[in-house]
């Protein structure tokens, strides 16, 4: 495990450690991901062996305390893993890691009992157990109050019935945080979360869904047929699930923003390489004013949003990132990511539309970022309510 955490370290030491950590992450991805990523895209899944290698290298659950198997590093170190995966063009991996390390692990750490933490977190940090979160259903997406999956009490257990869809890590998951209705008549107050061991009878994985992008990310349907879950697997409070989801959303949306900035940076780097080497009318594309001005616009757009993302990262580390601000950073950075990847593909011309050029994957992968974690439209509604309330 790398020693990257020093809570009382001076700022200069913190920055040098962060830089060294970034170099470590890049070397790992270059050696263990880059040579195989195209095959994983064709396979539609990232092998479990990579998670174990990442666990051995300390790249999973980075800011989870050492008592629970994590590295115990500051939050920014966890962000680096997602940012660098996205920058190198591995947004499917970044998406999977976001769910595993930055959504599921914090849910269990913040809401779980000591038994749940000891059961799941160390094995997640080692990459032996992969985490997924199951909220979306065929008839309920951004409106989580509309979920139909039920968990009804039966003695010292609950029986879970229903289905989920679009679940990242669904094929590989060993533990799933499941959003259910324990009281279907109570609205939001009837929502309860569970940690569900995927070896339990009655749990079934559906097909690995075909997608426009993120081809290496396993995205699945999940089915629950009288899955008998011990009451000790309730995550947080019975009936408190909706509030727990709201409490944890800022981190989820912030880390998506981190990935968006990293992904846009990677697309711009690929484009700079291309326009300086590709010639038209006997001179490099980079020598034309249109190209140069477009690059200047993209760089400015990227850096403005990076500054906002870094501000929000500091706010989260200080416990001060609220729901509306997290919605703002998610909305702003993912919309920027879409603009940048689209403009970068345009600078490649016809070659940008060919799948042999990585920029095409940047473009296709970026599209989902404005949808999952709350659509751009939902982000606008969250922000608007913080300004003028609900009308």
User: Residue 56 belongs to a domain with what CATH number?
Assistant: 1.10.540.10
**CATH number, domain at 357?**
1.20.140.10
The bridge status of strand 203-208 relative to strand 157-168 is unpaired
pLDDT given for residue 186 in this prediction: 87
Of 144 and 183, more confident: 183
Same-domain pairing of 252 and 201:
no
Taking the chain, what is the end-to-end CA distance rounded to the nearest angstrom?
A: 51
d(CA 327, CA 383): 7
pLDDT tens per residue across span 235-249: 999 999 999 999 999
Among candidate residues 61, 57, 86, 89, the one with its CA nearest the CA of residue 75: 61
Place of tokens 């757009």: 301
Q: Taking the model in full, what pTM does it have?
A: 0.93
- Average pLDDT, stretch 153-175? 97
List the CATH number of the domain containing 138. 2.40.110.10
Q: State whether 171 and 209 are in the same domain.
A: yes
The pLDDT confidence band at residue 11, using thresholds 50, 70 and 90, is low
| Residue labelled with tokens 């940012």 | 83
Residues 297-312: pLDDT tens digits?
Answer: 999 999 999 999 999 9
Rounded to an integer, the average pLDDT of 125-132 is: 98
Final residue of a domain: which of 239, 264, 299?
A: 239
Same domain, 256 and 224: no
pLDDT given at position 8: 35
CA–CA dist 332, 159 (Å, integer): 41
Check whether residue 307 and residue 341 sit in a common domain: yes
- Position 3 scores a pLDDT of 44
| 112 plus 188 within the same structural domain | no
Of 95-109, 144-158, 191-205, 357-371, which gets the smallest average pLDDT? 144-158
Q: What is the mean pLDDT of residues 200-214?
A: 97
Answer yes or no: is 120 within a domain.
yes
Count up the domains in the chain and report the number.
3
Q: Both 215 and 328 in a single domain?
A: no
Q: Looking at the predicted structure, is the pLDDT value of residue 140 above 80?
A: no
Residues 253 and 324 in one domain: yes
Residue count of the chain = 391
> Does the residue 6 lie in any domain?
no
Give me the pLDDT at residue 142, please: 65
Residue 26 lies in a domain: yes
Which neighbouring-strand residues pair with 112? none
Q: What average pLDDT does the chain have?
A: 94
DSSP symbols for 35-95: TTHHHHHHHTS--HHHHHHHHHHT-SSTTS-GGGTS----HHHHHHHHHHHHHTT-HHHHH
Reported as a single tens digit per residue, the pLDDT across 85-114 is 999 999 999 999 999 999 999 999 999 999
Exposure string for 244-273, b = 16+ CB within 10 A, e = fewer: bbeebbbbbbbbbbbbbbbbbbbbbebbbe
Read off the pLDDT band of 14 (50, 70, 90): confident
Same domain, 117 and 64: yes
Residues in a beta bridge with 234: 194
User: Alpha carbon of 193 to those of 48, 135, 219: distances in Å?
Assistant: 26, 10, 20
Question: Which residue among 191, 210, 239 closes a domain?
Answer: 239
Q: What confidence category does residue 9 fall into, taking pLDDT thresholds of 50, 70 and 90?
A: very low
DSSP string of 227-292? EEEEGGGEES-TT-HHHHHHHHHHHHHHHHHHHHHHHHHHHHHHHHHHHHH-EETTEEGGGSHHHH
CA triplet 212, 215, 218: central angle to 5 degrees?
115
Q: What are the beta bridge partners of residue 157?
A: 154, 230
For residues 135-148, give the mean pLDDT: 80
Residues 6+ apart with CB under 8 A from 51: 60, 100, 127, 128, 130, 172
Q: Are 206 and 221 in contact (CB under 8 A)?
A: yes
Residues 175 and 289 placed together within one structural domain of the fold: no
Specify the pLDDT at position 12: 59
Q: Does residue 3 lie in a domain region?
A: no
Q: Tens of pLDDT along 255-272?
A: 999 999 999 999 999 999
Tell whether 382 and 246 lie within a shared domain: yes
Q: Is residue 46 part of a domain?
A: yes
Q: Same structural domain for residues 183 and 138?
A: yes
Q: Which residues are catalytic?
A: 252
In tens, the pLDDT along 16-72 reads 999 999 999 999 999 999 999 999 999 999 999 999 999 999 999 999 999 999 999
Residues 321 and 289 in one domain: yes
Model pLDDT, residue 4: 44
Asked if 64 and 70 count as a contact pair (C-beta separation under 8 A), the reply is yes
Asked if residue 2 belongs to a domain, the reply is no
| Per-position DSSP letters for 339-387, written without gaps between them | HHHHHHHHHHGGGGGSTTSHHHHHHHHHGGGGTTTS-HHHHHHHHHHHH
211 in any annotated domain: yes
- Residue 32 domain flag: yes
Q: Answer whether residue 289 shows pLDDT above 70.
A: yes
Q: Which of 101, 128, 155 is the last residue of a domain?
A: 128
Instruction: Give the domain extent around 173.
Output: 132-239
């Amino acid at each position: 495990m790398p020693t990257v955490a020093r809570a009382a370290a001076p700022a200069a030491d913190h920055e040098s450690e962060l830089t060294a950590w970034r170099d470590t992450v890049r070397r790992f991805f270059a050696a263990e991901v880059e040579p195989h990523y195209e095959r994983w895209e064709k396979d539609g899944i990232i092998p479990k062996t990579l998670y174990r290698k990442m666990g051995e290298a300390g790249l999973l659950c980075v800011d989870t305390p050492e008592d629970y198997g994590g590295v115990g590093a500051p939050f920014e170190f966890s962000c680096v893993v997602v940012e660098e995966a996205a920058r190198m063009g591995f947004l499917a991996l970044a998406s999977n890691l976001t769910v595993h390390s930055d959504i599921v692990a914090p849910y269990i750490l913040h809401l779980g009992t000591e038994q749940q933490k000891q059961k799941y977190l160390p094995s997640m940090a080692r990459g032996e157990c992969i985490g997924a979160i199951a909220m979306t259903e065929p008839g309920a997406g951004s409106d989580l109050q509309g979920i139909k999956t039920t968990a009804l009490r039966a003695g010292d257990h609950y029986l879970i019935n229903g289905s989920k869809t679009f679940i990242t890590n669904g094929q590989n998951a060993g533990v799933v945080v499941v959003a259910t209705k324990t009281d279907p008549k109570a609205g939001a107050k009837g929502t309860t979360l569970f940690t569900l061991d995927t070896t339990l009878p009655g749990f079934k994985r559906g097909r690995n869904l075909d997608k426009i992008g993120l081809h290496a990310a396993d995205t699945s349907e999940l089915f629950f047929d009288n899955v008998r879950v011990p009451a000790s697997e309730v995550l947080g409070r019975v009936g408190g699930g909706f509030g727990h989801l709201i409490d944890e959303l800022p981190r989820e949306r912030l880390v998506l923003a981190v990935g968006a900035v990293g992904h846009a940076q990677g697309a711009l780097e690929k484009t700079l390489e291309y326009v300086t080497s590709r010639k038209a009318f006997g001179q490099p594309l980079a020598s034309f004013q249109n190209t140069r001005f477009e690059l200047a616009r993209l760089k400015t757009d990227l850096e403005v949003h990076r500054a906002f993302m870094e501000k929000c990262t500091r706010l989260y580390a200080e416990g001060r990132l609220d729901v509306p601000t997290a919605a703002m950073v998610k909305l702003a950075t993912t919309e920027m990511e879409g603009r940048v990847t689209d403009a970068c593909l345009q600078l490649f011309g016809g070659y940008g539309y060919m799948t042999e050029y990585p920029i095409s994957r940047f473009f296709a992968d970026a599209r989902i970022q404005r949808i999952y974690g709350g659509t751009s439209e939902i982000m606008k509604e969250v922000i608007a309510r913080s300004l003028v309330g609900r009308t």
